[in-house]
Structure 1
Amino acid sequence: MALALTRAPGEPVRPALRTARGALITRPSLVAAATVLLVCVPGGEKDVTAAVHVTAADVASLALVGWTTVELLRGRAPVLSRTACALFGAVVCAAAVATVTSIDPAASLTGFVRLVQVFVLVPACVLNALRDRFDQRLILGSLVLAALVEGAVGANQYLTRTGASYTGLPIRAVGTFGALDIMAMSTVVSFGLLAALALGLAERGPDGNRPLRLAMFAAAAFLTFPLAVSFSRGSWIACAAAATVLVLRADARLAVRAALLGLAAGTVLVCGIGIGSDGVTQRLSSIGSVSAAPDQSVSDRYDLWATALRIWQDRPVTGAGPKAFQQLRDSHAPLRLSSGSDTADATIGFQREPLLSPHNMYLLVLSEQGLVGMLAYAALFLALLIGCLRHACGGRHPEPDGGAGLAALALLVWVLVDFLYGDIGGATTVLTSVVLGLAARTALAGPDESGTAALLPSPAPQPAVDDAPAAASSGVRP
């Protein structure tokens, strides 16, 4: 970012250091990065049946929204493009229609606020905050740092047997989130792994930063261990799909080498050294049997999907309303559906966590917001995916955006794949908003890396500066 020295007539020139410090402090991307890092703050024991959960990261995200609103009112923030406004506006309208026509509008109001926060306000503010390469790398760096913190805690939980219960043993890595948010650590670690991989790939070539490349690849390699011992099949599948798209987009030949290297590393770690071999092997084998011989958790998920479809069939156009699934679940679910999921760790002991969502974001939208909502979300997701595929840079030379385009593509693919068997909820929900904002920066703002030009409407022509004295001195009539 170029820093210009400014002065008023008759006043001395301001020091460049003060200008640089002021520009750094006023960057809204710092609040976005703080939102990511505050996800790691332990939330303590929480009532999973409560209508509203407010975390430290949620507070930071609301601060980002407030900051952006003030800057827009003062004319200091870039205006979103028409495409971005149309896509985000469609989601708001669909949620509003579903809330007004809900079976319980009062109960759906909190769901409406949460949907607007997660899919509209925070992504739009993150998009607004990412004004140059520094901002983008700052957010990606915060994702990597948060993943390293959670990964270190999770690895220690597995090695010292102080994690959540898995097959009767306290070995499941859950980070600082506890057994009640079993997917949170694997989500944070997956985001950090993909961000580190994208930053490392962007530094290839003669002009790349070799120490940064090695550091990012080392971080990605380390994060594979806590991801493995999270025993989260969903995160494994989503991370594998996202990493494949990332490496293929960066360099197809590199994808083959990376696949062989990953297979060799996994064989050494699991089969040779024996790190997590029993649990990981058992969990991997269960992925192939989810259709032929599903375990109880998979069977319950299938029943929840069927329940969501039955709710949608009753109100196909506008859905039952946000937060309505948990009210209608028992009246539409098959009798074999479990009452809850067993969770246990050293802090909370044994608890049964109620199944309050279909564990599929697309079916959740369909059942609660109907076809109207499904069309709005499909338009947003497809626009982001197509735009990221189009604008994410590949090749053997460092990216102009420092890997932000590749990272945005990979993170978005992770979210879209994870939505097939998961939905929003828990402490890491706000990270989904940040990822959507990163993807919007790449997809909707275009490949402009120099600043905010792609986010701004076309500027009006400016009057020419009066250069009459200069013209006269050179012998040319003004």
Structure 2
Amino acid sequence: MLRLARVQTATLQGVPEVAARRGQAEKVAQIAFFATALFAAQLYLSPAQWFPVLEPAHHAAILSVVGLAALCVRRALTGQPLWMGWRTGLLAIYTGAALCSPLWSIVPEDSKLGALEVLKHFLFFLAVANAFDTPRRIRIALALYALAAIAPGWGTFNNWMHDQLLVEGFRGRWLGVMADPNHDAMALVGAIPILLFLATGRGHRWPLRIAGAVGAAGCIAGIIATHSRGGSIGLAIAVLMFALLSRRKALAGMAVLTAAAAMLLLAPASFWERNETAGLGAEDLSIEGRLQAWQVAARIFQERPVLGVGEGAFLEAWNQYAPIDSDRLFGHHYVAHNLVLEVLGQLGLVGLIGLMGFICASLWSAWKARDGELGGEARAVLAALLGYLACQMFSGYSTSWFLFALCGFATCCQAWAKRGPQETV
């Protein structure tokens, strides 16, 4: 019976219709790959902000629809299910909690909008995990994603140098989803280990090495320009982990020391002055506001430990849960500034278990893949994800495209390192 099945399979593979269907599936897979890779890269580039004529076209929405539609068509042509993995189940718990949260939210309308954003990020992760399904595709997509960070890195630094788009009068920023200095710094931190890998990895050509070095320098300059304290901590952790995980420790160590020396010598006095305020506590209004935001999260957890106040409802929760001495009715309402507390306050233990389980599974994937076919890429993504998560502890941002992109790349490094078919692109 086994031999008969093999003969039947071999016969079917020779049928012209089957070969044609396989060719169509491959072309559709290439469309899904390019659409998803371009969507990931445009997160850094924000082309609609450069060219306002593109904004009515909604290019990001078009790319996402094309990528997801192509994956569905490939599924129909091949009969193979989409890759899910048990981490997707954990992410589905988080997404399901967000989608249901308008039922118990203190501001249902805000929770509906927030739940839609969470659903978009869920679909983005699925697209990344299924479109980048060969080692070659993973390498190309990861390089495009990291090299795209050159624009916001040097762009943020240029804005700061020319006193353009400044926040609080001295903090540089970029455009689009990186218009907030803290979010800008976080995104740049997530690209630096990958750029350092492009600059120092074995077998890379010199043009790629030069681009990686220029990109890493630009991202460091951009982080300095944002004056983000959380970004500074995340940067230190990211480059340290990159050096420790690298197989070429001497070369990686030289790159890290060069970056550190440049930062020490070239960072302006305002950068060091703002980082020194991290130890001043109540004397710094920003830190005082964060401490009050953490108190809000703690009080929400005491009253609503399981389901929270609803997705996207944290700011509104200040009116009910902020300390009395915080001027909660007329003063400034702060976001949670901590990923764990933000999710715990908005979606309770249910949402926190789902999201943290998903992130831990992604970290584990990168760790397991560190010695495999995509070991260099996996180690770079692991360092990037650790640095990014360090930033998230000070600038909580649960609906971050960059967080889900890094988790997707980490998943791909393990899921597709060996079993993916060798395709041209």
**Match of residue 287, structure 2, among 298, 301, 304:** 298
Amino acid at match of 1:388: A
Match of residue 52 from structure 2: none
Task: Kindly indicate whether the alpha-carbon contact (under 8 Å) linking 1:36 and 1:57 is maintained by their aligned counterparts in 2.
Answer: no
Map residues 45-444 of structure 1 onto 2, 5 A cutoff.
56-57=59-60, 60-75=63-78, 79-105=82-108, 107-118=110-121, 120-166=122-168, 168=169, 171-177=170-176, 181-203=180-202, 207-251=203-247, 253-254=249-250, 256-267=253-264, 269-270=265-266, 276-287=267-278, 289=279, 291=281, 294-337=283-326, 355=333, 357-393=335-371, 400-401=373-374, 403-424=376-397, 429-443=400-414
Specify every segment of 5 or more residues in structure 1 that has no aligned partner in the other structure, as ranges.
1-5, 45-53, 271-275, 341-351, 394-398, 454-478
Superposition deviation, residue 128 in structure 1:
0.5
Superposition deviation, residue 333 in structure 1:
0.9
Structure 2 SS opposite 1:229: helix
Task: Kindly indicate whether the alpha-carbon contact (under 8 Å) linking 1:415 and 1:432 is maintained by their aligned counterparts in 2.
Answer: yes
Distance in 1 separating the partners of 2:294 and 2:48? 29
Match of residue 35 from structure 1: 39
Specify every segment of 5 or more residues in structure 2 that has no aligned partner in the other structure, as ranges.
1-12, 50-56
Task: Kindly indicate whether the alpha-carbon contact (under 8 Å) linking 1:32 and 1:126 is maintained by their aligned counterparts in 2.
Answer: yes
Superposition deviation, residue 151 in structure 1:
2.2
For 1:133-162, what per-residue CA distance to the aligned partner results, in whole angstroms no more than 9, with x for missing partners?
A: 232123222223321112232222222222
Structure 2 SS opposite 1:26: helix
Task: Kindly indicate whether the alpha-carbon contact (under 8 Å) linking 1:57 and 1:430 is maintained by their aligned counterparts in 2.
Answer: no
State the aligned residue count: 398
Amino acid at match of 2:345: S
Deviates more, 1:144-153 or 1:298-307: 144-153
With the length of structure 2 as denominator, give the TM-score of the two structures: 0.80
Amino acid at match of 1:266: M
Match of residue 474 from structure 1: none
Match of residue 448 from structure 1: 418
For 1:428-470, what per-residue CA distance to the aligned partner results, in whole angstroms no more than 9, with x for missing partners?
A: x323322221122235x164274499xxxxxxxxxxxxxxxxx
Match of residue 9 from structure 2: none
Superposition deviation, residue 35 in structure 1:
1.3
Distance in 2 separating the partners of 1:242 and 1:323? 29
Amino acid at match of 1:198: F
Structure 2 SS opposite 1:151: helix
Amino acid at match of 1:153: G
Task: Kindly indicate whether the alpha-carbon contact (under 8 Å) linking 1:312 and 1:320 is maintained by their aligned counterparts in 2.
Answer: no
Structure 1 SS opposite 2:149: helix
Match of residue 462 from structure 1: none
For 1:83-106, what per-residue CA distance to the aligned partner results, in whole angstroms no more than 9, with x for missing partners?
A: 244333332343345444434555
Amino acid at match of 2:162: T
Superposition deviation, residue 304 in structure 1:
0.7
Amino acid at match of 1:233: R
Identical-pair percentage = 23
**Match of residue 26, structure 1, among 19, 26, 30:** 30
Superposition deviation, residue 361 in structure 1:
1.8
